[in-house]
Amino acid sequence: MNRKKSVLIKSVINLCFFVISFIALFPLISLLLASFRPSTELMRNGISLTFDPSELNLNNYTYIFSEAGQYWTWYGNSLTISVLTIVLSLFFSSLVGYALAVYDFKGKNFFFTCVLFILMIPFEILMLPLFQLMIDTALVDTYTAVILPAVVAPVAVFFFRQYALGLPRELMDAARMDGSTEYGIFFKIMLPLMTPSLAAMAILQGLGAWNNFLWPLIVLRSNNLFTLPLGLSTLLTPYGNNYDVLIAGSVMTIVPIIILFIFFQRYFVAGLTVGGVKG
């Protein structure tokens, strides 16, 4: 009797999880399905649950691959900006996190506390003076303006410090005996050991840059410099006749990320669960 009851409870709970997972994936599934349907109908009706399977076609995709050059410009912009943000922010913050973990220096605790407080400063208060700074330095409407503020990544500093605390210090002493400089120790020995944390932070920073919206919205003006979210948002008008690019284009911003996620799940989880406060 009791066993029967527990089997029942188990199946009910598992069923619930199937339903919940389905709900979680449902918007993405319907986006994918909608991308194979005529875009005019999408504009008129929105995403419907009912559709005629015979009208499914690849027109949106053929259009985007053959005629929508603008879309690929945005894609290239987003890729460039994401890669540069990853490289610069990881370089700066891994140096800091490592220095905080392995060296003793004056002002270390003060500096660390400062970084802690900076975590609490919302980007929304920085954006107006930063915008003015970009105007004054004539950087408005450039990649540089988009990337520079993202280089400061206090969350990554914390993460790297935590990770570097666990690195074997004996290696450093051994390398010093061999005549290696402090820089050599970092770049040739310790940084390679920090690869897992670099991967996690690359994902956090990369995803942040790839999906970032507010700051690019403020500093970018020209259509040919837009990032993907920015460009796609301009297509989202009630009168738009660009729904083919919008819908197929949206699918193609998500698909590469999901593919990366399948291969690097562990790093995605590590990266995204550290950066709760990120914006």
The total of other beta-carbon atoms located within 10 Å of residue 180's CB is: 16
Residue 202, token pair as written in the block: 């690359």
Could you tell me which stretch among 55-63, 68-76, 189-197, 249-257 binds another protein (CB under 8 A)? 249-257
Q: Which of 213, 223, 224, 241 binds another protein (CB under 8 A)?
A: 213
> From the CB of 120, what's the least distance to another protein, in Å?
5
Query: What is the torsional sign of CA 6, 7, 10, 11?
Result: negative
Interatomic CA distance for residues 200 and 203, integer angstroms = 5
Q: Which of 75, 87, 142, 149 binds another protein (CB under 8 A)?
A: 149
Radius of gyration of the chain (CA): 24
> From the CB of 95, what's the least distance to another protein, in Å?
4
Residues 234 and 216 sit within 8 Å (Cβ to Cβ): no
253 belongs to the binding site for another protein (CB under 8 A): yes
> From the CB of 58, what's the least distance to another protein, in Å?
20
3-class state of residue 11 by DSSP? helix
261 belongs to the binding site for another protein (CB under 8 A): yes
By CB under 8 A, what part of segment 4-63 binds another protein? 9-10, 13-14, 17, 20-21, 24-25, 27-28, 30-31, 34, 42, 44-50
C-beta closer to another protein: residue 83 or 126: 126
Interatomic CA distance for residues 154 and 218, integer angstroms = 22
Which of these, 235, 268, 265, lies nearest to 250 by C-alpha position?
235
Q: Which of 190, 201, 246, 248 binds another protein (CB under 8 A)?
A: 246
C-beta closer to another protein: residue 38 or 149: 149
Residues 134 and 140 sit within 8 Å (Cβ to Cβ): yes
By CB under 8 A, what part of segment 70-129 binds another protein? 91-93, 95-96, 98-100, 103, 105, 108-109, 111, 118, 120-129
For residue 47, give Cα distances in angstroms to 35, 59, 172. Answer: 10, 17, 59
C-beta closer to another protein: residue 26 or 65: 26
